[in-house]
C-alpha cells in the first residue's frame, strides 16, 4: 500500500536547496526480514528501511535505479536534502530511487552493520528488478558525506561477506554498476578524515584501532572491479576536506577505472543538490551528462567507427567538431574532432549506430586568415536551411562528406 510520507524539516551544515517537485508517493519497506536482521540490538526499536520511489508507472520510466545513502556523520540522517529530494530529482528523469535509512553509530550500531545494510539494499533492488521493471545491470549507488563513505564501501567491498545470507535476496550481487559520491568521507586517516564519522562507524571502543580504520579507508580498497564513479566536492569544504575525494579519484585513476571529479571553489559542506546556487547548482547537470555517457538512462547500444571530410564555404575546415545526437535523447551524444578538413573516430568511441542529428561547429580562419571567417555553428548543411541534418550511422559505412555553407 503506497502512501504519502512527509518528512520533518532536517538540517545539515550549509543551506538546503529549494524543493524541486511536489512530495511524491513512496513505500517504506523494512530492509530485513523480521527476526533476521544481523547484528541486532534488542533495546533499539528503530529498524533500517528502504524508502522506495519507483517510476515504473511513469511514461518516462528508464529502467534505471539508484540506492541513495543520506549523510549525517554515521550519527544521524539528512533524510530530506540528501535523501528524499535527490530521489525526486531522479524520478523526474524516469529513474527509480531507493533511499536507505541505515543503522547508525548513535544507536549503538557500528561496522559491519552499516555495510550489511547497504549491501542488502542493493541486493533487494536487484532481486526485485523484474517486478520493479528495472534493468539489473543499471543500478547505481549514491551517497553524501558519511553516506558517501557508505556508498564508497558498497563500491569497493561488495565481495565482503558483511552478513550471512538469509533469503533469496542475498543470492544476487551487491556490486553497484555506478557510484556517485558527493563530498564523501573516504579516508579514516586522522589527518584528513571526519572524526565523528570515524568514531561512529568504528565505535568508541575501536576508534583507536588504526588497522581497522585503514581497512575501511575506501581509497585503499579500489580495484579494477570498482564501478565507474562520479565525485562532487568543494574546495571550501572544511568538514570533509577535498583530500578525501582526491584520494579516491587518484586511486580509481591508478586502477584505470573510469571516473569524473568536479571540485568547485566555493560551497560549504552538506549542500545536497543546491539548485538555487547558479554555480554549484550546475553539478547535477554534469552528473546527468555523466550518467548518460555510461548508458544509465538507456541500455548500452553498439557504436560505429566514422570518418570523412568536412568543408565550410568550399574550403577544408581548419578546426571544428561534429556532434552526433542519437534520436533517443537518453543515449549519449558523440563529438568527433575535425582537423584540416578530415575527421575520424574509432568504433570504441564512435557515435551510436542508427539515426543521429548532426551539429557542426568550425572555422576556416587558419585557411583564409580573413577577419570575415568567424567560428560557425550549423545544424544543417546550409545557413538558410531550417531542416536538421541527420545521418544514419551504420557499422562499415562509407566515409561521410559534409559541405557546409555559412553565407
The pLDDT tens digits for 356-375 are 999 999 999 998 999 989 99
Residue 77 lies in a domain: yes
What pLDDT, on the 0 to 100 scale, is given for residue 25? 60
Instruction: Tell whether 326 and 252 lie within a shared domain.
Output: no
Q: Domain containing 383: what range?
A: 306-404
At residue 20 the predicted structure's pLDDT band, cuts being 50, 70 and 90, is very low
Residue 300 lies in a domain: no
279 burial level (CB within 10 Å; 0-12, 13-18, 19+): exposed
What pLDDT, on the 0 to 100 scale, is given for residue 26? 83
Average pLDDT, integer, range 249-271: 98
Average pLDDT, integer, range 138-144: 99
Angle at 210 between CA 208 and CA 212, to 5 degrees: 105
Average pLDDT, integer, range 45-70: 97
Residue 138 lies in a domain: yes
Q: Does this model's pTM top 0.85?
A: yes
Residue 175 has pLDDT above 60, yes or no: yes
Residue 14 has pLDDT above 80, yes or no: no
Mean pLDDT of the chain: 93
Residue 301 lies in a domain: no
Average pLDDT, integer, range 216-232: 98
What pLDDT, on the 0 to 100 scale, is given for residue 167? 97
Average pLDDT, integer, range 331-348: 97
Residue 298 lies in a domain: no
CATH of the domain at 327: 2.60.40
Question: Which residues have CB under 8 Å from 149's CB, separation 6+?
Answer: 74, 143, 184, 185, 186, 197, 201, 218
Average pLDDT, integer, range 166-170: 97
At residue 24 the predicted structure's pLDDT band, cuts being 50, 70 and 90, is low
Instruction: Tell whether 247 and 376 lie within a shared domain.
Output: no
What pLDDT, on the 0 to 100 scale, is given for residue 23? 45
Domain closes at, from 264, 293, 322: 293
Instruction: Tell whether 234 and 337 lie within a shared domain.
Output: no
Phi-psi region of 89 (alpha: psi -120 to 50; beta: other; left: phi over 0): alpha
Domain closes at, from 243, 268, 293: 293
Instruction: Tell whether 266 and 326 lie within a shared domain.
Output: no
Name the residue with cell 530529482. 89
Domain closes at, from 293, 315, 344: 293
Instruction: Tell whether 342 and 264 lie within a shared domain.
Output: no
Instruction: Tell whether 326 and 277 lie within a shared domain.
Output: no
Instruction: Tell whether 141 and 239 lie within a shared domain.
Output: yes
Length of the chain: 407
Say how far apart CA 60 and CA 120 lie, in whole Å: 27
Residue 113 lies in a domain: yes
Average pLDDT, integer, range 112-137: 98
Report the percent of the chain where pLDDT is more than 90: 91
What pLDDT, on the 0 to 100 scale, is given for residue 397? 79
Instruction: Tell whether 283 and 326 lie within a shared domain.
Output: no
Name the residue with cell 580504520. 213
What pLDDT, on the 0 to 100 scale, is given for residue 200? 98
Residue 143 lies in a domain: yes
What pLDDT, on the 0 to 100 scale, is given for residue 335? 98
Residue 392 has pLDDT above 60, yes or no: yes
Instruction: Tell whether 53 and 149 lie within a shared domain.
Output: yes
Instruction: Tell whether 275 and 372 lie within a shared domain.
Output: no
128's grid cell: 526485485
At residue 396 the predicted structure's pLDDT band, cuts being 50, 70 and 90, is confident
Say how far apart CA 341 and CA 348 lie, in whole Å: 22
CATH of the domain at 135: 3.40.50.1820
Question: Which residues have CB under 8 Å from 42's CB, separation 6+?
Answer: none
For the stretch 229-239, what's the b/e string if a residue is b when 16 or more beta carbons lie within 10 angstroms of its beta carbon? bbbbbbeebeb
The string of pLDDT tens digits covering residues 72-109 is 999 999 999 999 999 999 999 999 999 999 999 999 99
Angle at 120 between CA 196 and CA 182, to 5 degrees: 45
Instruction: Tell whether 287 and 378 lie within a shared domain.
Output: no
Residue 299 lies in a domain: no
Helix axis angle for 146-156 and 195-202, nearest 10°, is 60
Instruction: Tell whether 248 and 333 lie within a shared domain.
Output: no
Domain count, the chain: 2
For the stretch 30-66, what's the b/e string if a residue is b when 16 or more beta carbons lie within 10 angstroms of its beta carbon? ebbeeeebebeeeeeeeebbbbbbbbeeeeebbbbbb
Amino acid at each position: 500500500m503506497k502512501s504519502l510520507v512527509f518528512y520533518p524539516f532536517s538540517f545539515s551544515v550549509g543551506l538546503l536547496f529549494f524543493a524541486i517537485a511536489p512530495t511524491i508517493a513512496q513505500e517504506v519497506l523494512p530492509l530485513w526480514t523480521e527476526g533476521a536482521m544481523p547484528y541486532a540490538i534488542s533495546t533499539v526499536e528503530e529498524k533500517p528501511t528502504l524508502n522506495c520511489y519507483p517510476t515504473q508507472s511513469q511514461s518516462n520510466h528508464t529502467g534505471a535505479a539508484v540506492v541513495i545513502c543520506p549523510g549525517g556523520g554515521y550519527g544521524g540522517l539528512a533524510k530530506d536534502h540528501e535523501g528524499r529530494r535527490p530521489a525526486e530529482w531522479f524520478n523526474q528523469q524516469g529513474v527509480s530511487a531507493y533511499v536507505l535509512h541505515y543503522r547508525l553509530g548513535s544507536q549503538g550500531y557500528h561496522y559491519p552493520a552499516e555495510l550489511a545494510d547497504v549491501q542488502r539494499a542493493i541486493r533487494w533492488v536487484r532481486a526485485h528488478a523484474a517486478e520493479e521493471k528495472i534493468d539489473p545491470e543499471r543500478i547505481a549507488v549514491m551517497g553524501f558525506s558519511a553516506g558517501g563513505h557508505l556508498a564508497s564501501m558498497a563500491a569497493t567491498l561488495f565481495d565482503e561477506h558483511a552478513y550471512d545470507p538469509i533469503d533469496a535476496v542475498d543470492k544476487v550481487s551487491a556490486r553497484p554498476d555506478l557510484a556517485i559520491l558527493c563530498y564523501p568521507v573516504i579516508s579514516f586517516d586522522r589527518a584528513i578524515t571526519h572524526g565523528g564519522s570515524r568514531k561512529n562507524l568504528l565505535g568508541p571502543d575501536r576508534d583507536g584501532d588504526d588497522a581497522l580504520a585503514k581497512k575501511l579507508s575506501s581509497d585503499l580498497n579500489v580495484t579494477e572491479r570498482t564501478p565507474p564513479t562520479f565525485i562532487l566536492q568543494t574546495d571550501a569544504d572544511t568538514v570533509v576536506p577535498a583530500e578525501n575525494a582526491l584520494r579516491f579519484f587518484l586511486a580509481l585513476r591508478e586502477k584505470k577505472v573510469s571516473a569524473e571529479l568536479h571540485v568547485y571553489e566555493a560551497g560549504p559542506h552538506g549542500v545536497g543538490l543546491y539548485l538555487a546556487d547558479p554555480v554549484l547548482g550546475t553539478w547535477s547537470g554534469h552528473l546527468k551528462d555523466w550518467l548518460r555517457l555510461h548508458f544509465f538512462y538507456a541500455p548500452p547500444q553498439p557504436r560505429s567507427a566514422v570518418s570523412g571530410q568536412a568543408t565550410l564555404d568550399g574550403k577544408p575546415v581548419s578546426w571544428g567538431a561534429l556532434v552526433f545526437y542519437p534520436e533517443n535523447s537518453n543515449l549519449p551524444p558523440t563529438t568527433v574532432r575535425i582537423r584540416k578538413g578530415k575527421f575520424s573516430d574509432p568504433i570504441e568511441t564512435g557515435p551510436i549506430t542508427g539515426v543521429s542529428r548532426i551539429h557542426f561547429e568550425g572555422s576556416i580562419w587558419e585557411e583564409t586568415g580573413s577577419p570575415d571567417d568567424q567560428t560557425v555553428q550549423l545544424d544543417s548543411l546550409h545557413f538558410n536551411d531550417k531542416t536538421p541534418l541527420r545521418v544514419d550511422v551504420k557499422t562499415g559505412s562509407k566515409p561521410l562528406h559534409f559541405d557546409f555553407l555559412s553565407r
